[in-house]
Chains A and B, each alone.
Chain A
Amino acid sequence: MSAVTIDQTQTPPSRTFRRRSKFERAISSLGFWRGLAGILVFLVLWEAAAYLKTAADFTVPFFGKLPAPTLVAAAALEVVVQPGYWWSWVESFKRVLGGFIIAMILGIPFGLALAVNKYFRDVFFPPFEILRPIPPLAWVPASLIFWPTNEMSIIFVTFLGAFFTIVINVLGGARTIDVRYLRAAQSMGATQWHLFSRIILPGTLPSIFTGAAVGMGITWNVVLAAEMVSGGGSQAGGGLGFFIWSSYMGGSMEHIIVGMISIGIAGYLSSALIRWLGERAMPWQRAF
C-alpha cells in the first residue's frame, strides 16, 4: 500500500453536514425555549392565583375562580386511565372526521364545478349563498328532526360547518388561477381535460388546503356544541363535548378544564394532520 500524500493545493472535499431532524432543530432553537418559558410562567401565575384564593381569600379576577393547575393535573391523571375518557376522543374524532371527509368529497367537486362552468354557477350559486350565512348550529334542531339518529344529525351539522368554507375556498382558488397558466397550457396543445387535471386542480390545491384547515377548525367548534345540545347520543360515548357538559352538570371544574385542554390537543392534532398532508401534496410550496 502506498503512502498517502496530502496535496495542500487541492481544494478540501466539501464537508457534508448530517441533516438534523425537525425535532432536533426545534429543541435547539431559542424560540422553542422562549415558548416553553411562556407556558411555565402562565402556569405559575395560575397556580399563584389559586393559592391566593385558598390561603388569603383574595379572588384574582377570572383566574381566582379556577382550580389550581395541580388539581387539574391530578384530575387529568385520574381520567386518562379510564377507557370512557378515551371513548369520548374516539366519538368526537369519528364525528369530526366523518363530517369533514364528506364535506371534502362533496365540497371540492362542487366548488370546482362552480368555478369552471358558468351555467352551473348561475343555477347553484344563489341558493348556496343564501344557505351559507346560516350558522351550522342553527341547523341542530332541524337536523335532529330530519335524521333518524342523533349520530347522523351531529355528523350532518359537522359536515355543514366544513362544507361551506371548503366550497368558498375552492371556488375562490380556482377562479383566481392566473390566466397566463391557462393560456400557456392551451398554446402548448392542452385539451380541456389536461387544463382541468394539470392546471386548474394543482393551481387550486393551496386553496383546498386553506379551506380544509379553516373547515377543520369549524368542525371542532360545531361538533362540541352539537354534542352538548343533543346530549351526545349514548351516555357511554358522548364525545368530548358531552364530557365537558356532564362535568359541568356534576359540578367538577377540574374535569371541565381537562375536557377543554383535551379539545385543544385534539384540534391541534387535526390541524397538524392537514399541514402534514398539505406539505406532501404540494412539494413546490416547501420552497417558500
Chain B
Amino acid sequence: MRPDVFSPGAVAAKGAISIRNVTKIYDPDGAQVMAVDNCSMDIAPGEVCMIVGPSGCGKTTLLNAIAGFHSITEGEIILDGVQLCGPRQPLATQSADRIVVFQNGALFPWKTLAENVAYGPMVQRRWPKAECMERARTALKEAGLGAVVDKYPGEVSSGMARRAEIVRALINDPKVLLLDEPYRAMDALTKQIMHEALLEMYDRTKVTIYFITHDLEEAIFLGDKVYVMTTRPCRVKKVIDVNLPRPRDYTTLTTEAFRLLVKEADEAVHEEALKAFKAGEREMA
C-alpha cells in the first residue's frame, strides 16, 4: 500500500473531501502572497458545503486546488481516501470525478445544449456516440430544458444556460460538483428558480457540493454546512450547521430559524469584510 493513500475502506460513501493543513503561496515576481494559510476542512459525502468569505480571500484557490487547476504549497487534499494533491504531487490530476461550474458559465458556444451535455461522455467514450446524444437529450428534458436541446447557448437565457451547465456536469456522474459563484450575475427571481432546480437535481444525485458564494441567504438556503472564511490568508473562521429540514422551498426563506442563521453568518462575515477592507486601505496607503 502506498503510504500516501489514506486508510482505504474507512469511508464507504462517495465524495468525501478532506482538506488538511493546506497552504498556498503565490509567488508572482518574488512577492510572496499567502492566499491560503493552514486551512483544514472535512466535507462529508453528499454534503452541500457552502463557502462564504470576503472577495479575494482564497476560496477559489481551494476550488482550483481540488479541481487540479492550481498546485498547493503545503498540506494535502484527499478525496474518498485517495490523495489528490500533497507534498509529493502538488498539482492534482484533472478528472471527471470533480467537475467545475464556472462563474460566468462555460458552455461551449459552438455546440448546441445537447452537444455540450454529450461532450463529457463522448470524450471519455463512455457510450457510443448516438447513445451519448440520446442520454444528453433525456437529461436536459428531465431538467426542464426539453424545448431548447438543439439551441446554441447564445440563443437561450442565462438561467437556462446555467441549468444546462449543471446537467453537463452531472451526466459525468462526478463525486464532487465544484461551483464558483454560478448565480452571481442573476436577478433575485431567476436565482430563486435556479436554487430550486439545483436542490431538485441534488436530491436525485446526492453528489457532494462545494459551492462558493457571496450571498448569505443563498448559502443558508442551499447548504448543509456554511463555512465562513477569514480574509486573506484564507482559513476557516466559523462553521455553521444548517439544520433546516429538507426538502426546502421558498417558504423556508421566511422562517424564524432561517433568519437567525443568516444573522449568525452575517455577523461573522461582516467582521471579516471589515478586516479585508482595512487591509486594502493599508495596501493602498
Q: List A residues at the B interface (Cβ < 8 Å).
A: 178, 180-181, 183-191, 194, 198-199, 202-203, 205, 282-284, 287-288
Contacts and interface: CB of A to CB of B under 8 A. Distances in A.
Contact of A181 (B108, B168, B172): B108
Nearest to A186: B94
A191 B100 CA distance: 17
A19 B138 CA distance: 31
A188 B124 contact: yes
A186 B172 CA distance: 13
Contacts of A186: 94
B104 A180 contact: yes
Interface residues of B, number: 27
A184 B106 contact: yes
Contact of B96 (A189, A202, A287): A189
A188 B99 contact: yes
B157 interface: no
A282 B152 CA distance: 11
B123 A187 contact: no
B110 A187 contact: no
Contact of B123 (A178, A181, A189): A189
Given A283-B152, A284-B152, A287-B154, A187 B102 contact: no
A181 B110 CA distance: 11
Given A283-B152, A287-B155, A188 B108 contact: no
A284 B109 contact: yes
B224 to A, nearest CB: 24
Contacts of B111: 202, 284
B212 to A, nearest CB: 15
Query: A178, A183, A202: which has the most chain B beta carbons within 10 Å?
Result: A183
B119 interface: yes
Contacts of A181: 106, 108
B106 A188 contact: no
